[in-house]
Structures are given as structure tokens and as C-alpha cells.
Amino acid sequence: MELDRRQFITAAGGTGIAGLAGCSDGPSDDGTETGDGSTGGNASATTNVGIVYATGGLGDGSFNDQAEQGLQQAESEFDLQTNSLQPQEASEFGNLQQRFASSADPEYDLVSCIGFLQADVLGETATQYPDQQFQIVDNVPTNDDGEQYDNVASYTFKEHEGSYLAGTMAGLLTLESVSIGSGSTQSDSTNLGFVGGVESSLIQKFEAGFVAGANAVSADIDVQTNYTGDFDDPSAGREAAASMYSSGSDIVFHAAGNTGTGVFQAAQDAGKFVIGVDRDQSVTKSSYADVILASMVKRVDTAVYSAVEAAVNGSFEGGAETTLGLQSDGVELVDGQQLGSELPESVTSEVASTRQSIIDGEIDVPSDPSNA
């Protein structure tokens, strides 16, 4: 189902979560773990939420931090007790999911799993704990018969729609000579770049939208693509982007989590531009704001908040998929805090017009790079 337009989350995401007390049978201290013992009101009405973050952890200024923002907003509005775990590698997902699902004190009303890499093992966990409610962001786990699990609510996004706008902006700017902040483009360049983390159908949606948006501006624009294979390797991101800039790219768009930090570094080194992802990275990575044109914001916070709200209200719907796109403000291209006001009006107006055309169904955005 497409989530209707709603009041979205505006709470600041910079505050960490303090240690959780009173979970004697809950997750132990042998993982990277944070929690909040927010209690208030009648203790018997407290909703217990456990969240397993994606690899890269909190502080990525991107995907995980956006999820945390949704949890913090829910904590400010509901009577919650929360605990969160940060895996060091993907092989830990199953164990961390089970630690929450098997906990007797407290019993978790909801276990939120952040990131598509958790999907396969979540199918096993959900089957093992059929009475436990789970949420997953960025995937729709199914069993061998192709059916969704009755105790898993899936939240997905139309990343390709927002990425199309990123491609539109980058395509328009690379055809002009623009110098703002610490970056510049040259009108004789028709070269852009895309850096992804783990190559997958999900991250390829970002690539597909970006390439399609750029090619809609001009068929002469070429997009270099590099998948680093990791969401937490800034050095790999820096190396990949540096190669693109040195071979003529004016602007690189990343969908690589904390690996993208290296892309920002490479942009500053080269005096070129970058487009961030998931959050407004000109804010969360403010030391690079002088080269961040915009960010393709993905409202993971809305997904987390919505699932928690459903668990609190007793309206949790397992076996269902909620999809967030441009029409529901689930994705959006947000101009950089420092550079946004200096972008040419012809570019920002064209991006706004393109956004409306996608919402109106006049532009069909591909989700597969082979169709871009």
C-alpha cells in the first residue's frame, strides 16, 4: 500500500540513546548496544521496542541515523522502553534479531530491523518466533512459496524517484559552468558518477533513477558507476570517487552509507560536487557542506515511527508492505544548506517541475539500470 501524505518527523537526530536498565534476560552487553529506559505513565502500558541497525552503525550521518531519528520521535510521543543493537558485520544479524525475540524481560512488542541485508535471516527468525512482531526497512521477506511472513511488516521506498531528481539536477549542472562553494562544473563535461555500497537490486534503484534523470536532460551524458561492496568503508568511497573526478566527472551521487564519507572527501580534494543520500548530509556531514549540492532524502524515520505507532496503538499489520515515494514525501531531493541558495534558478525550477511530472505519472522512472 502507498502511505498517504502525513505529518512527517522533524525532530533533531543528533542525540544518542542512553543505556537501558532492567533487561536482565534481554540482549547482553557483548554487542554494541544502546537503549533508552523511557517510562512515564502506567508501566503496564509501556511498549517495548528493540531495533537492530544496519552495518555502519549510528553516526553514519545517513541511513542508520535517519532510523534513529524516527525512534527518537516515537519516544517523545509514546510511553516506550527501547533497546538498540549495532552489528559489526552482516553475519551478526540473526543473533541480534533472536536476542530481542527471545527476551523474556522485557518481552518486546516490536523488533525493528533496519536494512535489506537483514531480510534473509529475518525469514528464519520470524518463523522461529511466530508470535513476535517484526518490522523490516528496505525489503519484503518471503517464504519458499513467495508469501510474506504474517508477523513481519515491510517498509520500502521508491528510491528511484528521488534519485531521478538527483540525476536531473546533476545533468543540468554538468552542462553549465558553475562555481559555488568549493566546487565547480565545466560546460564541456558530460560526465557524472555514481558510487554504491553493496551491489543489490535495492541500490541499483538509486543508480537507475540517477542515470535515467541525467539521460533525460541529455543523451550525451555518461555516468560512471562503481560499487565498493561495503557500506562502511570511507577509504573505498574516496578512491572510487577520486577516480571518477580525475576522469572528468563534475558531480558524483552516492548511495553507500558511511562509505559515502569518502566520496565527500574526494569531492573537496578535487574541487567538484557530490549529492548525498538518506538525510540532508549538508547538515549531518556539515564539514563537507561546501561541496554538497543536495541530498536524496529517504524517510527511514517515517517508516520506523509508523511501525512503532502501530505497535503502540495495537494496529500492527504483519504480512503487509508499505511503500513510500515522492507523492507521500517518502523520498525527496533537498538542496544543500550552504549551496542551495546559489544553485541556478533554471535548475531548481526544472527539478521542481520534474518532481511534479513524476507524481502526476507523466514520467515513468525505471528501477532497473538496464532500463535507464
Q: Which three cell numbers stand for residue 186?
A: 565545466
Do 169 and 265 reside in the same domain of the chain? yes
Tell me how far apart the alpha carbons of residues 309 and 201 are, in angstroms, rounded to a whole number: 29
Do 222 and 317 reside in the same domain of the chain? no
Do 361 and 213 reside in the same domain of the chain? yes
Report the CATH number that the domain containing residue 98 is assigned in CATH: 3.40.50.2300
Q: How does pLDDT run across 180-228, given as a tens digit for each residue? A: 999 999 998 899 999 999 999 999 999 999 999 999 999 999 999 999 9
In a domain, 272, yes or no: yes
Do 127 and 276 reside in the same domain of the chain? no
Do 239 and 147 reside in the same domain of the chain? no
Do 185 and 215 reside in the same domain of the chain? yes
Tell me if the pTM is above 0.75: yes
Largest Cα span, the chain: 66
Do 181 and 73 reside in the same domain of the chain? no
Tell me how far apart the alpha carbons of residues 245 and 138 are, in angstroms, rounded to a whole number: 30
* Torsion angle of C-alpha atoms 65, 67, 71, 74, degrees rounded to 10: 120
In a domain, 9, yes or no: no
Place of cell 535548475: 347
Which residues lie below 8 Å from residue 173, measured CB to CB, with a gap of 6+?
185, 250, 251, 273, 293, 343, 344, 347
Do 181 and 107 reside in the same domain of the chain? no
Do 51 and 166 reside in the same domain of the chain? no
Grouping H, G, I as helix, E, B as strand and the rest as coil, residue 264 is helix
Do 227 and 362 reside in the same domain of the chain? yes
Residues 45-62 as b or e (16 or more Cβ within 10 Å = b): ebbbbbbbbbbbbbebbb
Which residue range(s) make up the domain with 346? 159-298+339-371
In a domain, 149, yes or no: yes
* Torsion angle of C-alpha atoms 209, 65, 327, 8, degrees rounded to 10: -170
Tell me how far apart the alpha carbons of residues 74 and 235 are, in angstroms, rounded to a whole number: 35
Q: How does pLDDT run across 218-266, given as a tens digit for each residue? A: 999 999 999 999 999 999 999 999 999 999 999 999 999 999 999 999 9
In a domain, 281, yes or no: yes
Do 54 and 185 reside in the same domain of the chain? no
| pLDDT interval class at 126 (50, 70, 90) | very high
Q: Into how many domains does the chain fold?
A: 2
